[in-house]
Amino acid sequence: MLEVKNLHASINGKEILKGINLTVKDGEVHAVMGLNGAGKSTLSNVIVGHPAYEVTEGSITFNGKDLLQLKPEERAHEGIFLSFQQPVEIPGVSMVNFMRAALNAKRKYQGLDPIPAGDFLKLMREKRSIVELDSKLTSRSVNEGFSGGEKKRNEIFQMAMLEPLLTILDETDSGLDVDALRVVAEGFNKLRRPESSAIVITHYQRLLDYLKPDVVHVLIDGRIVKTGGPELAVEIENRGFDWIIRSERDEVRG
C-alpha cells in the first residue's frame, strides 16, 4: 500500500529525515516509536504533504501513485488520513459544513455525486455513536473549545466519516486519560476495515496494547534503526530506548 524509499526531508533548511525506508502492506498496523525530536511527526507530515517540509531526496508511493506529486487534498482523496497530534481549532466553520465539504470533495474525486443531506446527517449520527462523540460537539465549530480528549475523539470520528485506506495516528495517546484512550482505540478498531492499514506514532506501549501492531519500528535521529514484531514495543516499554541507541552506535563503530 505505502512504500517509502530513502526519504530525506527538511524544514527551514534543517534536515530531519535522513533516509527513511518503510513498507506498509494492506491490512497491516505499523508502530513508529522514538524519542521526542527523532522525526516521527515529520514523517507523518511529509506523508500527508505539509507545505512547511521539503523533500530533498527519496520517494513515497501509495498504491502505485507517486505521492510527492499530489497536493495534500489529493493525498486525502487517495485515502490517507492523519489524526493530528494537535488538531487546530477553526472558529466559525461548523463541524457539519466541514465534514460535508470534506466528504463531497472526496466523492467528487471518485466521480460520485454529492451525498444527499438526509443521508449525510444519518451517516454523521451513526459514526458519532461509535466514538461516543457528544452530539453537542458536532454542532459546534471545528475543534473550537473542545477538550484534549474531545479533539482526539473528533479525529477518529472524522476518520470514520472519510473511511481512509491508511490512517496515521500521530501521538493520538498524548494528553488522554486511560478511559479516553480506550474509547478512542476501541473506536479505531471497530472502524477499521480488514484491508485498511495504519501507522501508529507513539512514545508508549499503552496505545499499542489496544491496537496490536504487526510491525514495530524505532526511529532515531531521522532513521529507522530497528524493526521488529510486537515484542519490540514491549521491550522498549521495559528497557527504554537507550539500549537501541547504544547498539546503533556500536554498529556504526563496528
Count of residues interacting with another protein (CB under 8 A): 31
Question: DSSP per residue over 52-117, as a string?
Answer: TEEEEEEEEEETTEEGGGS-HHHHHHHTEEEE-SSPPPEEEEEHHHHHHHHHHHHHHHTTPPPPPH
Question: To which residue does cell 524493526 refer?
Answer: 227
Interface map 35-54 toward another protein (x if CB under 8 A): -------------xxxx---
With binding defined as CB under 8 A, does residue 117 bind another protein?
Answer: no
Residue 55 to residues 13, 31, 147, 209, 250, Cα–Cα distance (Å): 11, 22, 34, 33, 29
Residue 218 to residues 104, 208, 232, Cα–Cα distance (Å): 37, 14, 9
CB of 77 to another protein, least distance (A): 5
Q: Could you say which of 28, 73, 132, 214 contacts another protein (CB under 8 A)?
A: 73
For residue 38 the three cell numbers come to 527523532
With binding defined as CB under 8 A, does residue 93 bind another protein?
Answer: yes
Closer by beta carbon to another protein, 70 or else 234: 70
CB of 158 to another protein, least distance (A): 6
Which stretch in 2-10, 96-104, 207-215, 238-246 sits in contact with another protein by CB under 8 A?
96-104
Q: Could you say which of 6, 59, 69, 71 contacts another protein (CB under 8 A)?
A: 71
* E strand or H helix at 47: helix 40-48
> Amino acid letter at 31?
A
Closer by beta carbon to another protein, 6 or else 86: 86
Closer by beta carbon to another protein, 79 or else 226: 79
Query: Helix 242-253 and helix 230-239: axis angle, to 10°?
Result: 100
Strand partners, 16: none
Q: Could you say which of 21, 61, 141, 174 contacts another protein (CB under 8 A)?
A: 141
CB of 250 to another protein, least distance (A): 40
What residues between 158 and 177 interact with another protein by CB under 8 A? 158, 162
With binding defined as CB under 8 A, does residue 106 bind another protein?
Answer: yes
Q: Could you say which of 7, 30, 53, 77 contacts another protein (CB under 8 A)?
A: 77
CB of 179 to another protein, least distance (A): 26
Question: DSSP per residue over 187-243, as a string?
Answer: HHHHH--TT-EEEEEES-SHHHHHH--SEEEEEETTEEEEEE-HHHHHHHHHH-SHH
Paired sense of beta strands 2-11 and 53-62, if any: antiparallel
CB of 113 to another protein, least distance (A): 16
Q: φ and ψ at 23, to 5 degrees? A: -125, 125
With binding defined as CB under 8 A, does residue 90 bind another protein?
Answer: yes
- Interface ranges with another protein (CB under 8 A): 48-51, 71-73, 75-77, 81-82, 84, 87-93, 97-98, 101-102, 105-106, 109, 141-142, 158, 162
